[in-house]
């Protein structure tokens, strides 16, 4: 199983994401944003957290227009898998791979703490290790995690069972308490919380490890 982790100037969770993929058993290649193509045979692309391009203009906006993101779009359009975490989620909304947008937290503060999330669906490779309705504890660390979705989009996401995780105690004003969403084909997940920071006993929790194990198990079976 081959994973690629994109690296932008200002990414800072790229190595954590690599370790989480490797722990689950993937072969990982780091891919610099100026590369025009993903490595041959990549099964899943990880878009890491951080502050790509210093969050200039809008979080994720400049990264979304980098050469490697053109390849990411092609990969996703062909039915490839991808996961975007935190700034990676912002990049996925800016590329329009995922719907909605992420705005400044309603309380205007940067929030860094472990929060309880409810798993809303087990129907994806990312969440198949969890039972729907389970509570997991995963850290958040963001200033712009306030997910924006109008009534129509919320209805669509809920109707198609595309809400992956919700906050139990909404920390940032997100519409519908949404912490993570799936693409229409369920092969792309974007989430603000950091499962790669809860994937080792040394992290103080391993509730996030199931995300990576689920990806690996599904793609190795395939």
Partner 1 sequence: MKARVHVMLKNGVLDPQGEAVRHALGGLGFDGVEGVRQGKVIELDLAEGTTEATVTEMCEKLLANTVIESYSIEMGA
Longest dimension (CA), the chain: 44
Note if 13 is an active site residue.
Answer: no
* Interaction residues for partner 1, span 145-164 (CB under 8 A): 146, 148, 150
Among 65, 122, 170, 206, binds partner 1 (CB under 8 A): 65
Which residue of the set 13, 86, 94, 142 is catalytic? 86
Helical axes 209-221 vs 14-24, angle rounded to 10°: 50
* Interaction residues for partner 1, span 92-111 (CB under 8 A): 93-94, 96, 99-101, 103-108
The 13-52 site mask, x for binding partner 1 (CB under 8 A), equals ----------------------------------------
CA neighbor of 181 nearest in space, from 157, 208, 163, 156: 163
Q: Exposure pattern of 30-41 as b/e (b: 16+ CB <10 Å)?
A: bbebebeebeee
Q: How far is the CB of 11 from partner 1 (least distance, A)?
A: 20
CA 189/CA 207 separation, integer angstroms: 17
User: Three-state DSSP class for 189?
Assistant: strand
Q: Does 112 bind partner 1 (CB under 8 A)?
A: no
User: Residue numbers of the site for partner 1 (CB under 8 A)?
Assistant: 57-58, 61-62, 65, 93-94, 96, 99-101, 103-108, 146, 148, 150, 173
- Residues tagged active-site: 86, 194, 196
């Amino acid at each position: 199983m081959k994973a690629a982790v994109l690296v932008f100037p200002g990414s800072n969770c790229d190595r954590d994401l690599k370790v989480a993929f490797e722990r689950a058993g993937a072969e990982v290649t780091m891919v610099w944003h100026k590369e025009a193509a993903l490595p041959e045979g990549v099964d899943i692309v990880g878009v890491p957290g951080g502050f790509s391009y210093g969050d200039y203009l809008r979080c994720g906006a400049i990264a979304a227009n980098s050469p490697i993101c053109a390849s990411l779009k092609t990969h996703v359009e062909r039915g490839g898998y991808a996961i975007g975490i935190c700034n990676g989620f912002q990049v996925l909304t800016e590329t329009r791979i995922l719907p909605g947008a992420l705005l400044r937290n309603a309380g205007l503060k940067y929030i860094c703490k472990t929060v309880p999330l409810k798993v809303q669906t087990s129907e994806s490779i990312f969440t198949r290790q969890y039972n729907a309705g389970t509570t997991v504890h995963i850290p958040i660390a963001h200033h712009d995690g306030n997910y924006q979705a109008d009534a129509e989009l919320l209805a669509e996401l809920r109707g198609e069972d595309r809400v992956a995780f919700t906050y139990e105690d909404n920390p940032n004003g997100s519409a519908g308490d949404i912490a993570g969403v799936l693409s229409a084909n369920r092969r792309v997940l974007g989430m603000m919380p950091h499962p790669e920071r809860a994937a080792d006993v040394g992290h103080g929790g391993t509730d996030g490890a199931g995300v990576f194990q689920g990806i690996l198990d599904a793609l190795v079976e395939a």
